[in-house]
Structure 1
Amino acid sequence: MAGSRSFTDYVRNTFDNQFWAIADEYLRENINPLDMKLFKVHKAGEPEIIDVLVEHVWVEDLPEMRIQFDVAISVTFEIPEADYHYDGSEEKRIWLMVRCRGDLSCNLDDFEIFEVSDYTGKNRAKNPLDDSLVPYIQYEKLDEVATSFLEGYYPEALKITQSKQDPVWVNPEILIERLGLTLKTQRIREDASVFGQIYFVDTEAEMYDSKTESDMSMHIDGKTIIVDPKIYLLRNLGSVNNTIIHECVHWVKHRKVFELERLYNTSASHISCEVTGGAISTLSRKSTEWMEKQANQLTPRIQMPAEPFRIKAKQYVAKFMQESNARHVVDVMEKVITALEVSFGVSRQAAKIRLVELGFEEAIGTYTYLDGHYVKPHGFRKGSIKISQTFSLSAQDAAVERFINPKLRELTDDGDYLFVDNHFVYNSPLYVERDKNGRLDLTGYARSHMDECCLVFDMRITSKVDNIYHTTCFLNREPSDITFGIKFHNGFENAPQERQIQMRKKIQAEELDIRKQMTDDPEQCMDLLLGWRKMNYTDLGLEIDRDPKTISRTVKGDTKPKVETAALICFGLNLPPIISMKLMEVLDCKLNPMKYPDHQWINEALYMKYPEPIWAVREYLEPYGVVI
């Protein structure tokens, strides 16, 4: 990787003679030493320049490959003593602003200085470039820049269409043609680690040849985008479109960076974009990082321009809510995302992320993949959580957090919160119900009011990912190489409705009363609990698929039960933690989670899954190799 390329250094080293000449001319025409206040010289002679230094350069982006740049120079000159009776001199320094322009396509051979004035410290660049000639684009200006891009190359994509009309999507093949580029498919690397490259100039490049299974040298014309054909097999159409338009952004916005590199290194020819979302090239690391950040931010905004996308999203929301008689936006958000994905030719996750950027926070709770399944869509009060926070976590993250976080353990030990569909939800009928198979599920109300009934967790990315991708990664919780650390957000004040709290307290009081009645006699405990649940040994045997007589002998102490069997009895009776832990102890099957990993998961299930049917508990434990 090359070192950081500096346009200031290039100007300083290349146009030094011109700046000396302009400084000399300026002194002769504008500086009269006789008018200057001198301290060491009695009679001023002709000033002589000692040094001219380029102090700073401000670059302004102009159309095509032209640039205009203001150069602040300091001019140090000496005023000699003109009276031969004295021997001495005095140094003075002035600062000048030298306004220049030129065309990078001809290596600035047409460089010219068109204005020289006193330096005022003010930069007049309206479209500034940094010292590597990467455009300065403020985050809040990204949509404005994307709109300008479309106005220049694909204005029809900005058209607002009626509800029954499809939007005008940005066809990458048409965009390439309008930019005067060529698209070519060619294997680039054997491992498909590079999915796209843009070549700015003619070059001989190393490409992978599938026939010979080796690298080969081939000629590639300038203005060519190379896409590995494997991307069409490994990724969806939306991602392919994104790749091509991403390269088009590099062509429009970053050719000047490339040409600066060419001024230093004539062998530079292209930028390569890796499947991980980064870039590799002969350009400097600083330039590469900024260019990739801008291309990644601008591409989806070009594919999904703000106003047409926002209006079409609202149209789809209204359409699907009317068709399905939905009460909440979150109920139709998956359909909305799918429709936008097709209409704009983007990936599902790109559509989701764009919706969130444009204020549709209901999209945050969609397409979250955990524990081998998609979590059902859910919504919450606008602004109630940050992008880096979540209501959804895996069973393993939930168990780890309960183990290491006393505050979370305190909230969940008494059964106030259950782990349902990858959420810690308040245990109340308003928020928890049974589906047709008897499994616990969140109610429709809960899914639309997650901030009211579910605990919040902070996310942090633990795998190596550049900061510029963090927001995307937080929203994109599909299967990927990105790994997250989950931590309970202690400061979040969960606020279930007062009536639900009162109902929960009533249930807790009943459970506590039963617990107080339990002795250390297993038979007394079982008779009490069976009576409480209005069951007998036969009912329990059918529930847990065990011979009632075997259960009876276990309770009487004729046979010592395994921990798994004792836990099975607790699940068959749907015993809350305060009671199941006492029964496990009475049956001499006390759990030891610190010593036995299986006990850790059984313990977790007894706290988090006790109201569930046996088959659902077994399904929860199966991924961890625990059988009851």
Structure 2
Amino acid sequence: MAAQRSFTEYVKKRFDNNFWAAAESYLDANLDSLGIELKRIHRAGEMEISDVKVEHVWVEDKPGMEIHFDVAVSIWFETHEGDYHYDDYDENIVWMMAHCRGDLDKNLDDFEILNVSKYNGKSRVKAPMDDALVPVINKNQLDDAAEQFLREHYKKALLEPMWVDPKELAEGMGLTIRYENITKDGSIFGRSFFYDCETELYDEDADAMYKVTIPAKTILVDKKTAFLMVLGATNNTIVHECVHWDKHKKAFALARLYDNELSNIGCRVVGGIAGNKRDAIEWMEWQANALAPRIQMPITMFKKKVNQLISKYRKETHAYDMIDIIEPIIDELVLTFGVSRLAAKIRMMDAGYEEAAGAFIFVDGKYVKPHKVLKGFLAPNQTFSISARDAIVESKFNTALATVIADNEYIFVDSHFVLNTPLYVEKDLFGNTSLTHYARNHMDECCLVFNLTMKTSVSENYHTECFLNRDKSSEITFEAHYSAKSKNAVNQVQMIKDYNADLLAIARKLPMNFSGTLDALIGWSEMTEEELAEAADMSEKTIQRLRNSEPDNVSIETVVQLCIGMKLPPVLSGCLIRASGKNFMMTEQHIMYQFLLNSCYHLSINECNDMLLAQNLKPLGKLNRVS
């Protein structure tokens, strides 16, 4: 329990007699100057302390294993009547501040009260620690704390941008790195041993755990996990464990005062600490996670390198916009600092380079081009980029999104719902639809926002990093849900209204029967029957038959193919569907058809089939007959 690791509680129990003695001396020496009011007695007589309570403890970190701490003590005492004619007493409380010290390497056996003073409600410790003896480091102090760490253990990293060699760092701190199979399943990546300890490791050949003695000041790194993970992640783990040794050995010493069997901290691959979850332990892990990349990439040297690379790539590529050079910059930072791509990406965002958030994103296993957004527009768990499956489900079952798509002209392009206007959408030489360069620079202006939730179980402390970790190798899975957050300029809204009005005017002129509607829409598309046959992946004869005579029974697949072939906007494809007398059923196949017609009508029949196959659904056209 948390109380078992409380320094305040430990001080109360162990040094109670010391504080009683200090309280007695303090009252004897200062009673006349404390301004005690006597209300119930006529003359002060004998004074007797009834209780001494430790009210609060402020701890200050000191070099080595020494700590100083100020203890606020309340003294409860009774002053008895000095006139023997009366039998009464007054109760009073005064507070004092005891300034103390002790060495945790000596189990505080050398504890002493340095001096005692009147309590004034304030303690001015310079390097505060919390009640579990974890250093107090606020988020805005992390960079300073990282640079202080480097000044003590790896000064040269503050002179020029460089790779902080974790082996050299650990050895400089007097630590030894060993690669072992810590567990069978590889769930624990690193373990720091503060004291000599007999522990169990996994023998891969025997498929069994065996006992081994690990000396103090040893960092174990899991051999198998280190092999499977990228070098940057292994480097980060070793630096992470060095942070535990530097910042948390006093917290561990306090824990050992309660339980001398404790010997090590084990850090799990997913980012937590092995063992019972406690607030102090989670806080230590947060600090190690936050400080490790800042130690590997100290802010001043990191910014220096980033600015050098911006100049370099702008000259080499003749591209000025950050979205055009952000990815090679990140990859070169990976090489310079020996970190993972994700770590470099997050560090760029920490340093104020917001464009990094839109770099190296993969959705449905496909690369999404870099893009950027106004600073602060998206929350950490929000995105513009979603999977096709999430787009299908949300557009069908999220009424708010369905309304937006119906009322406006959004299409699904490059994993984004984007306004279908030439300012934001273009076609390349091969006829493929993509976001324009302007759109990728102004995503907040033209794309819909989605809230991400993680399906993979990950501690809340690591959500921000996980939401950014959407690269090709990520094992974290997400679900996206539409957010009502959007920002469309007035002229865009008017443009959409005008476009929709034109489509409605065309729809009102369409005949009621299928062949007549098809004939009119082919005319609107300005396609020849031969062109439509190729675009819809059906025979020219079939199109002629459907166009010239009313069919008895046309399949829903044929109608969908015709709509996709002519790239009919939803208003017009809806007219052709109704004229066919067909209705969509509540099946995955038909839900997908609706998604293609509503949000992907700009795609070719082949691209639509790729999306169908990706969802394990039957393709359209000739490919369906082959399958």
Higher mean displacement: 388-397 or 401-410: 401-410
Amino acid paired to 1:449: H
| C-alpha deviation, 1:597, in angstroms | 1.8
Report the counterpart of residue 563 of structure 1 in structure 2: 556
**Equivalent of 2:541 in 522, 544, 549:** 549
Question: Is the counterpart of residue 94 in structure 1 residue 86 in structure 2?
Answer: no
Quick check: 1:33–1:47 contact (8 Å CA) kept in 2?
no
**Amino acid in the other structure paired with 2:246:** V
Q: Letter of the 1:202 partner, please give it.
A: D
TM normalised by structure 1 equals: 0.94
Q: Which residue does 2:411 correspond to in 1?
A: 418
Deviates most, 24-33 or 330-339:
24-33
Structure 1 CA distance, aligned partners of 2:593 and 2:30?
89
1:189 is aligned to: 183
1:524 to 516, 522, 531: 516
Aligned match of 2:460? 467
* Residue 322 of structure 2 corresponds to residue 334 of structure 1: no
- Corresponding residue of 2:623: none
2:287 corresponds to: 294
> TM-score scaled by structure 2?
0.94
**Counterpart of 2:44 in 1: which secondary structure?**
coil
- Counterpart Cα distance in 2 of 1:227 and 1:454: 44
- Residue in 2 that maps onto 1:386: 379
Name the residue aligned to 2:592.
601
* Structure 2 Cα separation of the partners of residues 71 and 344 of structure 1: 44
Using the TM superposition, name which of 551-560 and 44-53 deviates more.
551-560
1:454 aligns with 2:447: yes
Identify the residue that residue 578 of structure 1 maps to in structure 2.
Answer: 571
Structure 1's unaligned 5+ residue stretches are 161-166
Shift of 1:349: 0.5
- Secondary structure of 2:574's aligned partner: helix
Count of residues in correspondence between the two structures: 617
In structure 2, what residue type is equivalent to 1:250?
A: H
Which residue of structure 2 aligns with residue 20 of structure 1? 20
Once residues 129 and 2 of structure 2 are traced to their aligned partners in structure 1, the CA distance between those partners, rounded to angstroms, is 20
Deviates more, 1:524-533 or 1:327-336: 524-533
Q: Is the 8 A contact 2:577 2:583 kept in 1?
A: yes
1:502 Cα shift?
A: 6.4
Report the counterpart of residue 210 of structure 1 in structure 2: 204
Following the alignment from structure 2 to structure 1, what is the Cα–Cα distance between the partners of residues 478 and 193?
36
The C-alpha deviation readout for 1:553-574, integer Å capped at 9, x for no partner, is 3453455222112101111111
Match of 1:258 in 2: 252
Q: Does 1:433 align with 2:417?
A: no
Are 2:123 and 1:123 equivalent residues in the alignment?
yes
Q: What's the C-alpha RMSD, in Å, of the aligned pairs?
A: 2.1
Distance 1:187 1:35, change over 3 A: closer
Which residue identity lines up with residue 117 of structure 1 in the other structure?
Answer: S
Look up the SS of the partner of 1:560 in the other structure.
coil
Match of 2:624 in 1: none
In structure 2, C-alpha distance between the alignment counterparts of 1:421 and 1:620, rounded to whole Å: 12
CA-CA distance at 1:10 after TM superposition: 0.8
C-alpha spacing 1:182/1:559, structure 2 compared with 1 (3 Å): same
When structure 1 is superposed on structure 2, of 547-556 and 348-357 the one drifting more is 547-556
Q: Which residue of 1 aligns with 2:143?
A: 143
Local SS of the residue matching 1:47: strand
Deviating more after overlay: 27-36 vs 405-414: 27-36
CA–CA distance in 2 between the matches of 1:104 and 1:302? 27
Distance 1:28 1:18 in 2: 16
Structure 2 letter corresponding to 1:489: S
Residue 83 of structure 2 corresponds to 83
| Equivalent position amino acid for 1:516 in 2 | R
Going from structure 1 to structure 2, the CA distance change for 1:70 and 1:501 (only over 3 Å counts) comes to: closer
How many Å separate the matches in 2 of 1:147 and 1:374? Answer: 36
Counterpart-to-counterpart distance in 1, 2:264 and 2:441: 49
State the shift of 1:90 in Å.
2.7
How far does residue 292 in structure 1 lie from its aligned partner after superposition?
0.7
1:344 to 321, 326, 337: 337
Moved more, 297-306 or 476-485: 476-485
| 2:270 and 2:458 in contact (8 A); partners too | no
The more displaced of 412-421 and 265-274 is: 412-421
Q: 1:529 to 1:37 in 2, by over 3 A?
A: closer
CA shift digits 1:16-66 (9 cap, x unpaired): 111111112222222249985423333322322222111111111111111
SS at match of 1:575: coil
Matches within 5 A, 1:144-293: 144-160=144-160, 167-281=161-275, 285-293=278-286
How far apart in 2 are the matches of 1:200 and 1:421?
A: 51
- What is the match of residue 47 of structure 2? 47
Q: SS at the partner of 2:533?
A: helix
Residue equivalent to 2:355: 362
Deviates more, 1:19-28 or 1:122-131: 19-28
Q: Which moved more, 1:176-185 or 1:402-411?
A: 402-411
Residues 515 and 550, structure 2, Cα contact 8 Å, conserved in 1: no
Give the conservation status (yes or no) of the 8 Å contact 2:45–2:82. yes
For the 8 Å contact 1:553–1:559, the answer to whether it is kept is no
The answer as to whether partners of 1:199 and 1:270 remain within 8 angstroms in 2 is yes
**Distance (whole Å) between structure 2 residues aligned to residue 58 and residue 249 of structure 1:** 23
Q: Which amino acid aligns with 2:30?
A: N
* 2: CA distance, partners of 1:43 / 1:576: 99
Deviates further, 190-199 or 117-126: 117-126
Counterpart residue identity of residue 550, structure 1: T
- Structure 2 CA distance, aligned partners of 1:184 and 1:567? 62
- Partner SS for 1:49: strand
| Contact 2:36 2:92 (C-alpha < 8 Å) held by counterparts | no
Aligned residue type for 1:427: N
State the AA in 2 paired with 1:573.
Answer: M
**CA–CA distance in 2 between the matches of 1:618 and 1:352?**
34
Counterpart Cα distance in 2 of 1:2 and 1:386: 33
> Is the contact between residue 396 and residue 591 of structure 2 (CA under 8 Å) also seen in structure 1?
no
Matches of 1:281 and 1:475, distance apart in 2:
27
SS across alignment from 2:451: strand
CA 1:125 to 1:569, structure 2 compared with 1: closer, same or farther past 3 Å?
Answer: same
Q: 2: distance between equivalents of 1:444 and 1:50?
A: 78
**CA offsets, 1:332-391, max 9 Å, x none?**
111011010111111000100111111101111111221111211112333333333221
The residue aligned with 2:318 is 325
Structure 1 residue 414 displacement after superposition: 5.7
Q: In the TM superposition, what is the alpha-carbon distance from 1:485 to its structure 2 partner?
A: 4.2
> For 1:173, what is the secondary structure of its paired residue?
helix
In structure 2, the residue matched to 1:163 is none
Q: Once the 2 structures are TM-superposed, how far is the Cα of residue 234 of structure 1 from its aligned partner?
A: 1.7
Q: For 1:420-439, what per-residue CA distance to the aligned partner results, in whole angstroms no more than 9, with x for missing partners?
A: 00111111112111123322
| 1:492 correspondence with 2:483 | no
Say whether the 8 Å CA contact 2:537–2:561 is kept in structure 1.
no
C-alpha displacement at 1:231, in angstroms? 2.1
Residue by residue over 1:231-290, the C-alpha shift from the partner in whole angstroms, topping out at 9 and shown as x without a partner, is 2222100000010000000000000110001101010000000111000247x6121111
- Indicate the larger mover: 343-352 or 38-47: 38-47
In 1, Cα distance between equivalents of 2:2 and 2:54: 24
Name the CA distance, whole Å, in 1 between partners of 2:26 and 2:332: 65
